[in-house]
Amino acid sequence: MPTAYDDISLAYQVVHGELTVKKHAEEFTYLNLLGDVQGKTVLDLACGEGRFSRTIKRQGARQVVGVDISAGMIELARQAEKQRPLGISYIHSDVAALGTIGSFDMVSAAFLFNYAASKEALLALCRTAYNNLKAGGQLVASINATPLFPPRNDQATRKYGYLVHSPSPLHEGDAVEYAFFTGSHAIRLFNVHWSRATYEWALREAGFGACRWQSPTVSQQGLEQHGDEFWRDFLREPNFICLGACRT
């Protein structure tokens, strides 16, 4: 079945490759939270076109498996693998329907949970993450429509290459619209807002131990290139948040 990402897969790849905020804040924060992947087995849920799958494998992971519901995104990931083989395998599947395919050291879920259309759907995604981890294994995730910072509906984020549109006041399950743009490409995404309590409930219900929330940080290079003032608005109200949780 076609998904929203099939139509924007190429533009998504370009936009994410070019946006300053992606490189210096989002990837930087996420990869720091993933930490040392040397020798580890990693399941990358909602891998998209494989940007984190490839980085994780290049950083020395022993095995990386990427999963995504979008045929277009998986096709791009497989093309990249064909052009520069890293030994990553990609599965075209809904994470909720994946079942248990292994006992991984780590599960990565970058911008997956904010696609859950209901609390039950969120729980199903968390259960897949849990069931594919070995005891002591780590889940690392990033989330848009963040439960910790209310999405901003103003123009202050234009300088970062994105705008947000969300209902005010924002309720559980509401759609938050993001427009990301560079000089040449633009994409529009809709994510679902869930509260911090709902995320923590779903993770706990799936079996995870305490959840650790991680606000974005900016790389030294990003600070030097753009200056503290450039990052001030973003750091005060970032558009995403990361979390880590452990299978006990």
Footprint of ligand SAM (CB under 6 A) = 3, 5, 16, 46-48, 51-52, 67-70, 73, 94-96, 110-112, 115
**Alpha carbon separation from 38 to 55, 106, 153 (Å, rounded):** 12, 11, 40
CB of 217 to ligand SAM, least distance (A): 17
C-beta neighbour count of 28 within 10 angstroms: 18
The residue nearest ligand SAM at its CB is 48
Instruction: Tell me phi and psi for residue 42, to 5 degrees.
Output: -135, 130
CB of 155 to ligand SAM, least distance (A): 23
**Alpha carbon separation from 169 to 35, 150, 165, 219 (Å, rounded):** 36, 9, 12, 33
Residue 70 vs 166, nearer CB to ligand SAM:
70
Instruction: Tell me phi and psi for residue 227, to 5 degrees.
Output: 85, 155
Residue 42 vs 112, nearer CB to ligand SAM:
112
CB of 164 to ligand SAM, least distance (A): 14
CB of 128 to ligand SAM, least distance (A): 9
CB of 3 to ligand SAM, least distance (A): 5
Give the gyration radius of the chain's Cα atoms.
17
Residue 140 vs 218, nearer CB to ligand SAM:
140
CB of 42 to ligand SAM, least distance (A): 12
Residue 46 vs 176, nearer CB to ligand SAM:
46
Residue 49 vs 105, nearer CB to ligand SAM:
49
Under a CB-based contact definition with an 8 Å cutoff, are residues 208 and 193 in contact?
no
DSSP sequence for 1-48: ---TTTTTHHHHHHHHHH-HHIIIIIIHHHHHHH---TT-EEEEET-T
- How many whole angstroms separate alpha carbon 22 and alpha carbon 20? 5
Residue 25 vs 69, nearer CB to ligand SAM:
69
